[in-house]
């Protein structure tokens, strides 16, 4: 089986945690890796952003990333990418023609790629499987005050993809409900595939591992540590954690606490200083420390160094950070939104917060930071919980879904004429 994966707006090889690179990048790369290891040939098509990338990047046997030139390498925001849909699609068609490739199934990720996949579906007469990752209607329903709403144009494009994709893959049952409620999707065409974590890399550390991780990060061994991992944008809620930190320090000025914010700015108006200035204004700049995004091999040290990982997002289709944290044995305090109630076993591997008010978050964080016995027990339970989710299992499910998609009959031009198109 040969699969064409489409990830137009961000390459799976980009560092997750800044710009437009996030959990979707991790999802695409890891599912593709494990599909390839099962003998499925996978080409991931993405837009080239610098000439040094080269056209074809061999990731491992059976898996390549194809960089398609569509528009200038630099200077195009994600909001401008719809202007390059035709160029990007043309580049894919030309690549497949030049190398004599036929793809059995198209798997598109995010709405921009879904529009490309929809066209390729008809050109290649191959079934389209689509994973949205985020949806405009859902983001608008949960957007923060002052945050820019997703456009009606995007919502219309998503509706077209939902109407025309052969199968829709979602991360959680909640996403199924979102598609049915907001996009009138047919439930029988939706399949839930839980993402995973790299449980071979993200493993619980020994006391010595934790000590080394803290030493590398310059954190005192006996300080309580809360970590945030992800893009620094309003939708991910870093401001919620910083304000909760200020509330914790207001309640107890002598609390020995460090908050690690690991990620880069994301969004049209975001700068590295945005949240640093907030921490300074709230008087917690000594407590809050900012780290640049880092690859998984280094990120594991951040998880191990933390007593608690906070995920204060306003919505998450799944919540990969929460899953990776639990795999390392670190309990999670997360917003009770999107897929996070699935990822976090509330009361057993972490806590869910049903608000984004700083006081509520300070209460939840204090519960775990001040109760060593409960926090340690949750960390042990978290490892077992995370072991139920793996990328290998996700890839096995996807391969079966692709096989099912192959049995879907796509009318060709002659058939359409015959039935009166």
Residue 345 assigned to a binding site: no
Q: Are strands 63-68 and 257-262 parallel, antiparallel or unpaired?
A: unpaired
Does 20 show up as a binding residue in the annotation?
yes
Q: Which two tokens stand for residue 190?
A: 């939706």
CA distances from 192 to 71, 155, 321, 337 (A): 35, 22, 19, 17
- Residue 224, annotated as binding a ligand: no
With contact defined as beta carbons under 8 Å apart, do 213 and 260 qualify? no
330 is in an annotated binding site: yes
Q: Any binding-site annotation on 183?
A: no
* 24 labelled ligand-binding: yes
Non-local (6+) Cβ contacts of 234 within 8 A are 144, 146, 147, 267, 314
C-alpha R_g of the chain? 22
d(CA 14, CA 1): 26
23 is in an annotated binding site: yes
Structure tokens at 267: 């969004």
Whose structure tokens read 């939840």? 364
* Distance separating alpha carbons of residues 263 and 244, to the nearest angstrom: 18
CA 298 to chain centre: 18
236 is in an annotated binding site: yes
Bridge-based pairing of strands 63-68 and 56-60 is antiparallel
CA proximity to 20, closest of 395, 325, 323, 293: 293
Residue 84: exposure state from Cβ atoms within 10 A (0-12, 13-18, ≥19): buried
Residues making up the chain, counted from first to last: 421
Q: Is 294 annotated as a binding residue?
A: yes
Q: Name the one residue in this structure whose structure tokens are 């964080």.
A: 365
Q: Is 261 annotated as a binding residue?
A: no
Phi, psi (rounded to 5 degrees) for 162: -60, -40
Q: Is 110 annotated as a binding residue?
A: yes
154 is known to lie in a ligand binding site: yes
Binding site per annotation, positions for UDP-N-acetyl-alpha-D-glucosamine: 23, 231, 236, 294, 316, 324
Binding site per annotation, positions: 9, 20-25, 78, 110, 134, 154, 231, 236, 294, 303-304, 306, 316, 324, 330
Binding site per annotation, positions for Mg(2+): 303-304, 306, 330
Binding site per annotation, positions for 1D-myo-inositol 3-phosphate: 9, 20-25, 78, 110, 134, 154
């Amino acid at each position: 089986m040969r699969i064409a994966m489409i990830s137009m707006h961000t390459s799976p090889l980009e560092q997750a945690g800044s710009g437009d690179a996030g959990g979707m990048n991790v999802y695409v790369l890891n599912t593709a890796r494990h599909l390839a290891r099962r003998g499925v040939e996978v080409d991931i098509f993405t837009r080239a952003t610098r000439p040094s990338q080269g056209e074809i990047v061999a990731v491992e046997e059976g898996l390549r990333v194809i960089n398609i030139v569509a528009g200038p390498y630099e200077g195009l925001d994600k909001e401008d990418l719809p202007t390059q849909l035709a160029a990007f699609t043309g580049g894919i068609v030309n690549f497949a023609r030049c190398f004599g490739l036929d793809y059995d199934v198209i798997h598109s990720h995010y709405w921009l790629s879904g529009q490309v996949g929809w066209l390729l579906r008809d050109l290649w007469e191959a079934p389209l499987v689509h994973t949205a990752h985020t949806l405009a209607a859902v983001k608008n329903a949960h957007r923060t005050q002052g945050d820019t709403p997703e456009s009606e144009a995007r919502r219309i494009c998503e509706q077209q993809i939902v109407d025309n994709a052969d199968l829709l893959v979602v991360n959680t049952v909640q996403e199924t409900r979102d598609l049915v409620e907001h996009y009138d999707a047919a439930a029988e065409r939706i399949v839930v595939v839980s993402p995973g974590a790299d449980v071979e890399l993200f493993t619980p550390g020994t006391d010595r591992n934790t000590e080394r991780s803290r030493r590398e990060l310059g954190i005192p061994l006996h300080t309580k540590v809360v970590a945030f991992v992800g893009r620094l944008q309003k939708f991910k809620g870093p401001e919620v954690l910083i304000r909760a930190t200020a509330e914790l320090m207001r309640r107890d000025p002598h609390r020995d606490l460090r908050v690690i914010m690991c990620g880069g700015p994301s969004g049209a108006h975001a700068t590295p200083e945005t949240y640093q200035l907030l921490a300074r204004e709230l008087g917690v700049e000594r407590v809050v420390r900012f780290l640049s995004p880092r690859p998984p091999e280094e990120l594991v040290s951040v998880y191990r160094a933390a007593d608690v990982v906070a995920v204060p997002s306003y919505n998450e289709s799944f919540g990969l950070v929460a899953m990776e944290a639990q795999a390392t044995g670190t309990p999670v305090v997360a917003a009770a939104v999107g897929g996070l109630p699935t990822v976090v076993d509330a009361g057993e591997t972490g806590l869910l917060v049903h608000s984004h008010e700083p006081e509520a978050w300070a209460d939840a964080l204090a519960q775990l930071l001040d109760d060593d016995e409960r926090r340690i027990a949750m960390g042990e339970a978290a490892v077992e919980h995370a072991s139920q989710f793996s990328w290998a299992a996700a890839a096995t499910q996807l391969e079966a879904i692709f096989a099912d998609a192959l049995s879907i009959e796509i009318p060709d031009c002659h058939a359409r004429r015959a039935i009166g198109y």
